[in-house]
Amino acid sequence: MRRTKFLLGEEDTPTHWYNLAADLPGGPLHAALDPATREPLTRTAMAATMPEPLIDQELSTDREIEIPEEVRRVYTLWRPSPLIRAHRLERALDTPARIYYKYEGGAPTGSHKPNTGVPQAYYNKLAGRTGLVTETGAGQWGSAAALGAAFFGMTAKVFMVKVSHQQKPYRRALMETYGGECVASPSTRTAVGRKILADDPDNPGSLGIATSEALETAAGDPSLGYVLGSAAHHVLLHQTVIGQEAVRQMELAEDHPDIVIGCAGGGSNLAGLAFPFLGARLRGGRPVRIIAVEPAACPTLTRGTIAYDYADSAGLGPLFRMHTLGHGFVPPPVHAGGLRAHGIGPAVSRAVEDGLIEATAVGQVGCLEAGVRFARTEGILPAPESTHALRVAIDEALRCREEGRSRAILFGLSGHGHFDLAAYQKYAAGELTDGEADSNGLALAAAGIPAAGAA
């Protein structure tokens, strides 16, 4: 029989996280800036919201960072995750391409997010904090933060982008089942939220706004640790367990990807899968083409500006050098809530800027069409975020058919779409639109990038 799944044992769970900063040409990443002084952020300032080990990871240029044994024990509840050859999709596309996907939907919350939710909860617990506070878009990260808090006996408060809070009630229910509190953002709980609602009572929310609310809450309560679901370097670092496993599993398949594809919002899923392959390439290994796929509704990499900008709408946190649409940008309410971030992780941004990773933007109608095709051939209903990578994987496979050329395509299926059936219902009813970002809105948001932030 042809082999479909390429599996590793619990003993093969990675022992270290991989750090791309060790292999980036041109030196380390640019330092984040203090919002008050516009000088490089100090460790003392970082310590206000981050435990020391996470600060070390954020700043490290070591190639490998050891994963604590207690975190590895939790990882084995779902890691290693499977690598699967999409034979049925290949046949449906009549393509000579060899399509593989790394499936993260078997994690307790149904996505890749616990890979960082667990270690961040662990380090905050060691630092003496009793609760976590964070923001979330589609709710995948909020679920993971609530789960991590539950594993280590902590509380969790999650500010969820209002439009996703309305679209995905069962994500909210999952967080509450884990013991977390889920608040629609913008909310009346914070000064930031109250101001936004006073100006615009119907504001649908954004990750930037939810981040501001979480940061304000953390600043007012030292018992809370602020945790991040994407973009930050230590978060991308934690996710590299995905790609490290995939490297070994592709060896089991006696194959090597010609193309690696990941959806891109803050960058954690893309980085987790692609960075280990990119690092190997940079160290003289086999060539691989890497594609970051973002929504046309929030085209950070393809239409954004490289500048120092805030990660949150109110400018409470540091400024990061990254591709950004402007911290005031509020994207259309598309269903891929996890990709509605105005800025992307500096490490991903740097890799795109240096030509190490390509970027493309796609509309959600074509993505959901790809999701339906995948469900009907492979049986898994992908999360709307994952359908962005799937859309481009299908397009590349069709290009192989046109060229009569076989390539190995690996994409990240970052999670299942069981909480996203409303999106698929709208697609089936013909009620879905692409929601492409408006040029005037993009220009207005870009004008709000700090003048001192120009890269």
- β-strand partners of 290: 260
CA nearest 232: which of 141, 355, 109, 360?
A: 141
Instruction: Supply the pTM of this predicted model.
Output: 0.96
How far apart, in whole angstroms, are the C-alpha atoms of residue 135 and residue 49? 14
What does the pLDDT look like over 267-299, one tens digit per residue? 999 999 999 999 999 999 999 999 999 999 999
Give me the numbers of helices (H) and strands (E) for the chain, helices first please: 19, 15
Q: Provide the pLDDT for residue 334.
A: 86
Question: How many residues make up the chain in this entry?
Answer: 455
Would you call 409 helix, strand, or coil by DSSP? strand
User: Cβ(296)–Cβ(436) under 8 Å?
Assistant: yes
Q: What per-residue string of b and e applies to 185-217 under the rule 16 or more CB within 10 Å gives b? A: bbbebbebbeebeeeeeebbbbbbbbbbbbbbb
Q: What angle do CA 37, 41, 46 make, to 5 degrees?
A: 120
Q: Tell me, what's the pLDDT at 452?
A: 58
- Rounded to 5 degrees, φ, ψ at 382 are -80, 150
Per-residue pLDDT at 49: 86
pLDDT at 426: 95
Q: Residue 455: what pLDDT?
A: 45
Residue ranges in the chain whose pLDDT is less than 70: 452-455
pLDDT at 428: 97
